[in-house]
Copies of this chain bind each other. A is one copy, B any other.
Amino acid sequence: MRTAAAIFPYLAFDPRSRVPFYKQIYDGYREAILAGRLRRGQRLPSTRALAAELKISRLPVLNAFEQLLHEGYLEGKAGAGTFVRDSIPDELSKPLVVKDGRTKVRRIAAAAFVSEGIGPFRVSLPALDRFPREIWGRLVARHGKRLPIELMAYGDPAGHAPLREAIASYVRAARAVNCEAAQVLIVSGSQMALQLCALALLKPGDSVFIEDPGYPGARDALQVSGAKVIPVQVDSEGIDVARIASQRKRARVAYVTPSHQYPLGVSMTASRRLELLDWARRTQSWILEDDYDSEYRYASRPLGALQGMDTSDRVIYIGTFSKVLFPALRVGYMIIPPDLVGSFVRLRESLDIFSPTLYQLVLTDFLNEGHFARHLRRMRSVYHGRRDAMVHSLEKHLGSTLEPYNTDAGLHLSGFLPRGIEDREVVRRAAQAGVVATALSSCYAGEHRRSGLILGFGGASERRIQAAASMLARVIESLRFR
């Protein structure tokens, strides 16, 4: 057991009370132990420190502790200090703590924890095993060891200025985004970006077009202001813009993933892009471009961002480092039309003021010193290999059952299941075998729900992918012929 400095326990102590000091201290600590506010093995500050804290002489504190030691509430450990005793009988300490509600809490919290870890086929998980952790760690240590005082205080809600410059420079060059650094807003990821859009652009009762099937996280986020989502079908060219344009109901916002549609993997064609921009201009609506998974294409060249084709400032561009670097970084960004920048920054401030500074500094160096470009380049070939392993393994084990399509980009692929096989049941059984598939049906908001699987191949090695595909085949076969 470490002998760490102890927190001063709260004590209802009143120097003007008629109750003797030692009695107040004894009663206070005894009650704190019985009520479970002080727990077994927890260390107490020294009697000297407590006396100083209470601005009284040491004697009453010593008397109170003597009594508590004698009655078995505390125990002294030579050279280590005074601790709440490990062996307080359950009958004494438990009844006051345990409530009916408590066990329930633990269960709820565990169920709500959605992260299924780092199992094979987990969607949105990058190749963490290939991340340049040494370089990153060196940059973290560089900035973490002596953060300048001004960077420990409150930061700019829009983000650290040099990082905004570096991101602007990256998206201009790599994604043909048309922007200045002043339009860049640093957020904690695309989820927060969508929340900000909902809060800034939508009122209760407003409508927002979403892709169907689409990303469930976006659906949740966009409904936060009480907006109604209108699902619009995705076909082989992307979202069906004609249906958007012909809707009698006006919507203020359309949410799209043009580079690599989630979950189907379609790239929105150039003509659809122009139609969508035209709709937004005519109706003065906003397009939220989630440039999901745009970094990795295995067959053709990446498409430029929709934002770069926009001449009327109707597009809000959303990007994140969760998938090109790692999720626990929690850094994403938005490129906002000039007229909206002020209101988005104020909103972000009221949401949670600003993003932690350390990782913003580290990321700035990572971008400016070329580590990012190098990492992207290496990852392209790693993911290419994993994509190939995935396609071949599925072909080998599930050739007749699950045909993947649109496999030339991103970190996941999708496929429909034959009629009669329920995807949620496949997912449930696969999870028991340690394989983390995602049910395609969970991505539909409209009526025409289809059964299928979304399988990530970014986070697992080629060997693990092969093993997981074989496991998945067994799960599906067991359902098929039962």
* B192 touching A328, Cβ below 8 Å: no
**Chain B residues with CB below 8 A from A20, complex form:** none
CB of A195 within 8 Å of the partner chain: yes
Copies per complex?
A: 2
Q: What 1/0 mask marks residues of chain A from 147 to 160 whose CB sits below 8 Å from any chain B CB?
A: 10111111111100
In angstroms, Cα B370 to Cα A372, docked, is 37
Nearest B residue (CB) for A31: B176
On whether the beta carbons of B147 and A113 are closer than 8 Å, the reply is no
Contact, CB under 8 Å: B140 / A37: no
Q: How far is the CB of A317 from chain B (nearest CB, A)?
A: 13
> In the assembled complex, which residues on chain B have CB atoms less than 8 Å from the CB atom of A224?
199, 350-351
Is A346 among interface residues, defined by CB-CB distance under 8 A? Answer: yes
Q: Name A112's contact: one of B140, B169, B345 (CB within 8 Å).
A: B345
Are A105 and B141 touching (Cβ within 8 A)? no
**Residues from chain B with Cβ under 8 Å of A102 in the complex:** 180, 182, 338
Give the residue of B108, B175, B178, B191 whose beta carbon is less than 8 angstroms from that of A35.
B178
From A374, which residue of chain B is reached at the shortest CB distance?
B5
Q: Are A173 and B32 in contact (CB under 8 A)?
A: yes
* Cβ contact within 8 Å between B373 and A4: yes
User: A352 in the interface, Cβ–Cβ < 8 Å?
Assistant: yes
A158 neighbours in B (Cβ, 8 Å) = 109, 112-113
CB distance from A184 to the nearest CB of B (A): 9
Q: Which residues A167-185 have CB closer than 8 A to chain B?
A: 169-170, 172-178, 180, 182-183
Contact check, A356 vs B329: say whether CB atoms are below 8 A apart: yes
Contacts of A106 in B (CB 8 A): 180, 182
CB contact between A128 and one of B45, B115, B152 (< 8 Å): that residue: B152
Chain A residues touching B, range: 35 or more
- Minimal Cβ-Cβ distance residue in B for A14: B301
Closest to A360 in B: B328
User: Is the CB of A104 closer than 8 A to any CB of chain B?
Assistant: yes
Are B54 and A327 neighbours in the complex by a CB distance under 8 Å? no
Indicate if the CB atoms of B141 and A369 lie closer than 8 Å: no
A95 close to B (CB within 8 Å): no
A371 to B12, CA, bound (A): 25
Stretch at the interface among A65-73, A129-137, A387-395, A463-471: A129-137
- Is A140 in contact with B150, judged by CB distance below 8 angstroms? no
Distance between Cα atoms of A302 and B45 in the complex (Å): 16
A405 within 8 A of B: no
Q: Is the CB of A182 within 8 A of B38?
A: no
Please provide the chain A residues from 16 to 54 with a CB less than 8 Å away from any CB of chain B in the complex.
32, 35-39, 42, 45, 49, 54
Contact A301 B11 (CB under 8 A): yes
The reply to whether B173 and A220 contact each other, CB–CB distance below 8 Å, is no
Asked whether any CB of chain B lies closer than 8 Å to the CB of A353, the reply is yes
Which of the residues B129, B149, B180 comes within 8 Å of A129, measured between beta carbons? B149
Q: A226-B226, A342-B112 are in contact. Are A146 and B155 (CB under 8 A)?
A: no
What 1/0 flags go to A190-226 for Cβ under 8 Å of B?
Answer: 0110010001000010000000000001001100101
Most buried by B among A39, A158, A328: A328
A172 and B34 CA atoms in complex are apart in Å by 12
Q: A368 contacts which chain B residues (CB < 8 A)? A: 2, 4
A170 to B118, CA, bound (A): 31
Cβ < 8 Å to B, chain A residues 62-83: none
Given contacts A5-B373, A224-B199, A349-B112, contact A153 B128 (CB under 8 A): yes
Give chain B nearest CB distance to A179 CB in angstroms.
9
15 further interface pairs, Cβ-Cβ under 8 Å (given A9-B174, A191-B352)? A2-B370, A4-B368, A4-B371, A7-B372, A7-B373, A13-B301, A35-B178, A37-B177, A105-B338, A106-B182, A133-B146, A137-B145, A140-B141, A330-B354, A358-B359
The contact sample of 17 A-B pairs, CB cut-off 8 A, is A4-B373, A5-B374, A10-B173, A10-B302, A37-B172, A102-B338, A104-B338, A105-B180, A117-B150, A138-B145, A151-B328, A152-B328, A192-B351, A199-B224, A329-B356, A330-B353, A358-B359
Nearest 10 Cβ contacts at the A-B interface: A4-B370, A140-B144, A101-B338, A5-B370, A137-B145, A108-B342, A328-B357, A115-B154, A5-B373, A37-B172
